[in-house]
A and B are shown apart, each in its own frame.
Chain A
Amino acid sequence: MTQNWPLWEVFVRSRRGLSHTHAGSLHAPDAEMALRNARDLYTRRGEGISIWVVPSTEITASSPDERDPFFAPSADKPYRHPTFYDIPEGVSHL
C-alpha cells in the first residue's frame, strides 16, 4: 500500500469579483483533505474566500514545443485590439 499522497493543484479566489488563480500545489490523500490542507496552507493570512483543488494528473496542458503554431497566429491580428483604430482627437466614449 502506498503512503505517498497524490499531488493537487490549488486555485484561490482572493476576493469576490476576482477569478480563482493558481496558488501552488500540495499533497493530500483525497479531495476533502486537499481542500482543507489548501485552506490551512494557502489562506493563513486571509488570502482567500474560495478554493478549488484539482488532481495534478487531471490537468491537460498545451505543449511548449507547439508554442509557436499554437499561439503565434493570434499575434498578427492587430485589428482585434482597440489601439488599432485611429480616432480623431476630441471624440470621447469610444
Chain B
Amino acid sequence: MTAVTPDTGHGTGHDTDLGQLAAAFDAAVAADERVEPRDWMPEEYRATLVRQMAQHAHSEIIGMQPEANWITRAPSLRRKAILMAKVQDEAGHGLYLYSAAETLGTSRDELLDKLHAGKQKYSSIFNYPTLTWADVGAIGWLVDGAAITNQVPICRCSYGPYARAMVRICKEESFHQRQGFELLMALSQGTEAQHAMAQDAVDRWWWPSLMMFGPPDDASSHSAQSMAWRIKRHSNDELRQRFVDIAVPQAESLGLTLPDPDLKWNEERGHHDFGAIDWAEFWDVLKGNGPCNAERIGRRRAAHEEGAWVREAAAAYADKQAAKDNGQTEEARV
C-alpha cells in the first residue's frame, strides 16, 4: 500500500467499530475537514467520488473533440494558438482528474475502459456538433462558463485530492471563458455574416448549456447525499440560476440575444426567470441519441486502440532497460 493507491478502505488494521468510524467521518465532513486518500471513508462516498471524478475527467477528454475540430481551420494565427492551448489544457485537466481519481484505488486504465465501453458517462454537452467557427466561441463563453459555475464550489469539496485538482483547473480555466467571450465579441462586431454566425451559435448552445447543471433538483437522484457529504455544495437549480443571472448581462454586452422569449428579470425574486428546459432532449442525448454520441466515443476508442502499440513499445523498452540496469548491478557486485 502506498500513499496514493490505498487499499479499498475495508481493513483499518484494527477492530474498530464501523459505526464509530462512520460517525467520526460524518463529524469531520460536517466540520469542513478534508478527507484524504488513506482515511477511512464509507464505500458509498468512495463510489460516488470515483463516479463523479471519472465523469468529470472523461468530460475533459471527450470535450477536446468538438473544439479540436476547428484547430486546423482557425481563421487567424492568434486564434489558432489560443485554441491549441485551450484544447491542450483540457487534456491536462483530464489528467489532473484521473490522477485525483487514482488516489481512491481505481486506475486510469480501468476508468478509460469503462468510458470506452459506455459504462461511464461524460457531460452530454459534448455530444453536440461544432458546425461553425462561432461554436468555438459559444463553447468558451457558455459551456466553459457553465462548467466554471459548477466547478468553483468543488474547490471546497470534502475530498482533498479532488478539491486540489479543481483549484488548479479553475485557475487555468479562467482564460477559457474569456477567450470565448472575446471571440464572440469580435464576430458580433464584425461583418454581417460573422454576426449571424455568432448569433446562430449562441442559439444552438444556450439550452444545452443550461442542461449542463443536471436535472432539476426534484429529479436528481444523487444530489441530497452528495450535498451532505460536501462533494456538492449547491443544488443543480441554484447553480443554473446563478449561471443565467451572470450570462444575461454578458449577452447584452456581446450584442447577442439569448433564444428564450420567457427570459426576464424578476424583481421580486431578484433573479431572471427563464423558460422551460426540454428535459426530454436531455434524457435522449444522455441515453446516447445525441447528434455525436457515437462519433465521440468512436474517436476516443480509436485513438486508444491505435495507440496501443506505442504504449506497448515504451513499456517493452522500459523493461529492457531495467533488465540491463539490473544486469549491470549484478556484474558490479561480482
Residues of A at the B interface (CB closer than 8 Å) are: 1-5, 7, 9, 24-27, 29-30, 33, 41, 44-45, 56-61, 63-66
Contact = CB atoms under 8 A, between A and B. Distances in A.
B259 interface: no
B2 A59 contact: yes
Interface in B305-334: 308, 311-312, 314-319, 321-322
Nearest to B308: A3
Contacts of A58: 2
Contacts of A45: 172
Interface of B: 1-5, 12-14, 16, 36, 38-40, 88-89, 92, 95-96, 99-100, 102, 107-109, 165, 168, 172, 308, 311-312, 314-319, 321-322
A30 B92 CA distance: 20
Which 9 residue pairs are nearest across A and B when measured between Cβ atoms? Answer: A61-B3, A29-B314, A3-B311, A30-B318, A29-B318, A25-B99, A3-B312, A59-B3, A64-B38
Given A41-B92, A61-B3, A5 B315 contact: yes
B12 A29 contact: no
Nearest to A47: B168
Contacts of A9: 3-4
B4 A33 contact: no
Contacts, number: 80
Contacts of A56: 2-5
Nearest to B3: A61
A7 B5 contact: yes
B95 A33 contact: no
Contacts of B95: 24, 26, 41
Contact of A5 (B14, B88, B102, B314): B314
Nearest to B171: A45
B100 to A, nearest CB: 8
A26 B99 contact: yes
Nearest to B38: A64
A2 B38 contact: no
B13 A24 contact: no
B312 to A, nearest CB: 4
